């Protein structure tokens, strides 16, 4: 069976490429989806790439990843990374490994970004490399 990787993106990431390129880079979310699609296809895998501005959607999708038998989830929960115990609970509630992804390096930014609830449940964290953070995470996720 083809390996399936869910790639879930949180609030405001739909605006990527339109503002603050010095922090988040010039790639749009569609650019990142296309890169990951190619990378997954070359490895004989498949990605399911989604974005939502709503916390509950991200939680439902984590449950869905488990129900669909996904091999791994790459999760950039954006601002919810630093606030959401509900997302942490969802990560802990599924057996699918979750990899935390960030374009920027939250630890090199404001203090309030240093706390990550997602990180408390994630298998590993990839941050600070722009779109490449997703590619590095996918590379590792495909090997678990």
Q: Structure tokens of 19?
A: 């503002």
**Of 16 and 90, CB closest to ligand CA2:** 16
Q: Which two tokens stand for residue 41?
A: 């296809």
Catalytic residues: 24, 102
Min. distance of Cβ 1 from ligand CA2 in angstroms?
31
Give CA–CA dist 107/4, Å, rounded: 30
Instruction: Indicate the helix (H) or strand (E) that contains 104.
Output: none
Footprint on this chain of ligand CA2 (rule: CB under 6 A): 12-13, 15-16, 18-20, 24, 76, 78-79, 81, 102-104, 106, 113
Residue number, 71 or 102, with CB nearest to ligand CA2: 102
Residue 47 CB, shortest distance to ligand CA2, in Å, is 17
Of 41 and 114, the one with the shorter C-beta distance to ligand CA2 is 114
In the bound state with ligand CA2, the residue whose beta carbon lies nearer, of 41 and 76, is 76
CA-to-CA distance for 28 and 95, rounded, in angstroms? 30
Rounded CA-CA distance 42/125 in Å is: 23
Q: Which candidate, 61, 77, 70, 121, places its Cα nearest to that of 96?
A: 70
SS3 at position 106: helix
Least distance between ligand CA2 and beta carbon 46 (Å): 23
Taking the complex as a whole, how short is the minimal distance between the CB of residue 114 and ligand CA2, in angstroms?
10
Q: How far is CA 112 from the centre of its chain?
A: 19
């Amino acid at each position: 069976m083809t390996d399936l990787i869910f790639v879930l993106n949180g609030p405001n990431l739909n605006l990527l490429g339109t503002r603050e390129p010095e922090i988040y880079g010039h790639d749009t979310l569609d650019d990142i989806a296309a890169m990951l699609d190619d990378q997954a296809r070359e490895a004989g895998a498949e990605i399911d790439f989604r974005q939502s501005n709503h916390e509950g959607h991200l939680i439902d999708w984590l449950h869905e990843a488990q129900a669909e038998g996904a091999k791994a989830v790459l999760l950039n929960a954006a601002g919810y990374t630093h606030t959401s115990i509900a997302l942490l609970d969802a990560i802990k509630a599924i057996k699918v490994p979750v990899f935390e992804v960030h374009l920027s390096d939250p630890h090199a930014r404001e203090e309030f970004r240093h706390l990550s609830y997602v990180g408390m449940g994630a298998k590993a964290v990839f941050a600070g490399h722009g779109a490449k953070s997703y590619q590095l995470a996918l590379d590792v996720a495909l090997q678990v």
